[in-house]
Amino acid sequence: MRRTMFGLLAAVGAMSSGGLLVSATVEAHHAIQAEFDTKKTEEITGVLTRFAMINPHVRWYFEETKPDGTKVEWQFTASGPGAMRDAGLARIFKPGVTYKVAFAPAHSGAKVGRLRTMTFPDGRTVTMYHEDPTKSDVKVE
């Protein structure tokens, strides 16, 4: 385990802790394309009210205040909790903090999105999306 620039411990790899390499609840994975329009990107800026480390996908709950003062509630989801753990990101999202969220919107028009990138107040970003499935020349790092 080592400290990252976020001041956190980043997992060196699940093997050393005896955990499995892949998210435990693999069976409950849902197709992203069934729920979200992955060709679009939208953005909001809002206050995080809750970050839930849950299966099958982690979830962020946001409150956006529009220029006219109305408040809109948003929910964003990303990969399974195992990936969050591997990336050392389990505790970095703080309720009450304002983040900018770029996301793929829901087909249904609901205020729900698949997270692409979250921008922290100091400008640093966390991108938790997935690779372009059509790129066949990508080497695994």
Partner 1 sequence: MTRRLSSSSVWLFVAVLGMALPSLPDAQTPGPTPRTAAGQPDLSGVWVNRGGGGGGGREYRPDEKGNVYANSSFRPCHPGSECRPAANSERDAGIRQRMAGTTYNVPLYKPEYWARVQDLDVNGNKYDLSARCYPSGVPRIGAPSKIVQSATEVVFLYEGDNRFRVIPTDGRPHDPDRAQGVSWDGEPSGRWEGDTLVIESVGFTDESWLGWPGYFHTNNMRVVERVRREGDVLIWQATVHDPEILMEPWEMPAVRRRLNPDPRARLLEDPPCDEQDLAHMATRERG
User: In sequence order, what are the beta bridge partners of 71?
Assistant: 65
- Least separation in angstroms between residue 131's CB and partner 1 is 5
By the 10 Å C-beta count (0-12 exposed, 13-18 middle, 19+ buried), 101 is classed as buried
- Whether a cis peptide bond, with omega within 30° of 0, leads into 95 is no
Q: Does 128 bind partner 1 (CB under 8 A)?
A: yes
Residue number with CB closer to partner 1 (46 or 115): 115
Query: Judged by CB under 8 A, which of 47, 68, 82, 101 binds partner 1?
Result: 82
Shortest Cβ 86–partner 1 spacing (Å): 7
What's the DSSP call for residue 119?
Answer: E
Question: What is the number of residues in the chain?
Answer: 141
Among 41, 47, 64, 126, binds partner 1 (CB under 8 A): 126
Nearer to partner 1 among residue 67 and residue 74 (C-beta): 74
Which stretch, 13-21, 41-49, 65-73, 94-102, contacts partner 1 (CB under 8 A)? 13-21
Q: Are 93 and 76 in contact (CB under 8 A)?
A: no
Instruction: Work out the angle at residue 22's Cα, subtended by the Cα atoms of residues 112 and 139, and round it to the nearest 5 degrees.
Output: 90
Type of residue at 98: T
Interface residues toward partner 1, by CB under 8 A: 4-6, 10-35, 52-57, 59, 75, 77, 79, 81-89, 106-108, 110, 112, 124-131, 133-134, 136-141
